[in-house]
Amino acid sequence: MVSSASPSPGAWTPTSWRTRPVAQSVSYPSASHLSNTLHRLSTLPGLVTPHSIHSLSTHLTSVAAGRAFLLQAGDCAELFADCREDKIAAKLRLILMMSLVIVWGARMPVVRVGRIAGQYGKPRSKDKEMVEMESGEKKEVLTFRGDNVNGFSPSDRTPDPERLLQAYFHSSATLNHIHGLLSSGFADLHAPLDFSFDHVRDEALKRDYRQIVESITDSLDFMGTIGADPSSAGGSSSSLSSVDYYTSHEGLILEYEESLTRLHTSSSSQSSSSSRAPTAGYYNLSAHMLWLGDRTRDLNGAHVEYFRGIKNPIGIKVGPSMQPEELVRLLEIVDPDVTPGRVTLIGRFGASKIESHLPPLIRAVQSSRHASSIIWISDPMHGNTISPPSHPDIKTRLFTSIVSELSASFRIHASLGSRLSGAHLELTGEVDESGQSVTECMGGSMELGEEMLRERYLTHCDPRLNAEQGLDVAFLVSRELRE
Ligand code: PEP
Ligand code: MN
């Protein structure tokens, strides 16, 4: 049972963040419009349940113990206009294909978490920017902060609380479609050829993927022949025909997060003693997992205050400015009970900085109480964003830098007796009307060159790996895990 939160002064409450400085705060023109919208949000049902959040926490306990790999991936920023059947299916298909490659190659279960169904808000380094309006006039306007705050069009940059409600309903429609796809056999391993990517142009990549699919089909045939295939006993709910898939977003707009934070009381669950039942406490029911961005992780700030009180598993972006002792203090604040799998540290240093910055942080965690409870994963995207000289106005990422940071993460962790247990990626399987993948990051097996960047540069935020490049990364991860 879920009920609305009632604050108790002095302790953590869903509103206690309001007493702290709020990084990346949004100024809404009308306070009453905002509070009416938040009230409406607080009465709407949660998008996910404490039980499904608890199920992810249980999987993350296995990741923390080195028994599973965490793949967290999706768009930099979702747009409301992208809430369409084809786009959602393409995103889901790519993460499923990648996890198939990793599971098969590394013989290790993969926990899949999408940056999806709520990844709308964006932190920005500047509040304002100069743009050219449709009239040709140059004007300074507020920066685009994500579809849940303002519009991408320069004439629509005033923050509008109504967009928070829109975010809720678009998240809900996205989740509904994901559930529909998964429950209709979208991830059925008996028909993995449905996963085939006609537009993957790289022949070697196609061959590698096809080989995996053939070996799985062979194994399933064999298991069916000897009567060991659980689904041959009937029913479509076998673990081979459905997969777990969880949602996440950056917990940035705290007003929204607060309105979806609800108290779960354990007395209301059927068997609170069972490890399958979520413990009592406050759950953010807007997503299974939330992460704290690199710009909002100030120890005394509002975001850290909010994050420490929710039961959801949380991610923390860890960039080059994080100091070792600061990281340990942060872990003490957000995870005082040292719960295995509660915190995922998402390293995002950049290929040129990882060698010097990651080792002191690993050592600091190793000599703290949190050594065996936290999960380290690598985000090889955010420290590797560049503007190529020929296109100074757009952002891209070199596949070689991405691979270099990811491989270095595996190597550095292993050399220090730590473990890299996952990857956090910005990618999309979406294609244009002619079936062609996006051209936002350079390189990879398809050798996407600088001259191709403008062809299908569709992101409104950071550049994403396309399907071919995502599969390249999956093969790399499966090789690293095997070694
Ligand atoms: C992001 O994940 O899109 C992001 C803004 O990352 P970071 O906080 O690491 O810069
Ligand atoms: Mn991004």
The per-residue pLDDT for range 452-472, each reduced to its tens digit, is 899 999 998 999 999 999 999
Q: Output the CA 294–ligand 1 centroid distance in Å.
A: 6
Pocket residue to mutate for ligand 1, from 122, 250, 428, most atoms within 8 A of Cβ: 250
317 lines ligand 1 (CB under 6 A): yes
Q: What is the pLDDT of residue 189?
A: 67
462 is in an annotated binding site: yes
Q: Output the CA 134–ligand 2 centroid distance in Å.
A: 27
Q: What is the pLDDT of residue 4?
A: 43
Q: How many CA atoms lie within 13 A of 298 on its CB side?
A: 12
309 lines ligand 1 (CB under 6 A): no
426 is in an annotated binding site: yes
The per-residue pLDDT for range 284-327, each reduced to its tens digit, is 999 999 999 999 999 999 999 999 999 999 999 999 999 999 99
Mean pLDDT for the chain overall: 90
380 lines ligand 1 (CB under 6 A): no
Is pTM, for the whole model, over 0.80?
A: yes
382 lines ligand 1 (CB under 6 A): yes
Report the chain's C-alpha Rg in angstroms. Answer: 22
Report the nearest-CA residue for atom 3 of ligand 1. Answer: 76
Q: How far apart are CA 288 and CA 336, in angstroms?
A: 21
317 is in an annotated binding site: yes
Pair of tokens at residue 148 = 């849940």
Pocket residue to mutate for ligand 1, from 295, 385, 426, 427, most atoms within 8 A of Cβ: 295
Residue length of the chain: 483
Q: What is the pLDDT of residue 230?
A: 54
State the ligand closest to the CA atom of 461. 2
Q: How far apart are CA 200 and CA 98, in angstroms?
A: 13
State the ligand closest to the CA atom of 73. 1
Q: What is the pLDDT of residue 7?
A: 40
The per-residue pLDDT for range 234-276, each reduced to its tens digit, is 433 445 556 889 999 999 999 999 999 999 997 554 544 556 7
What is the average pLDDT across 101-125?
94
What is the average pLDDT across 146-165?
97
Query: Nearest Cα to 110, choosing from 140, 73, 168, 67?
Result: 67
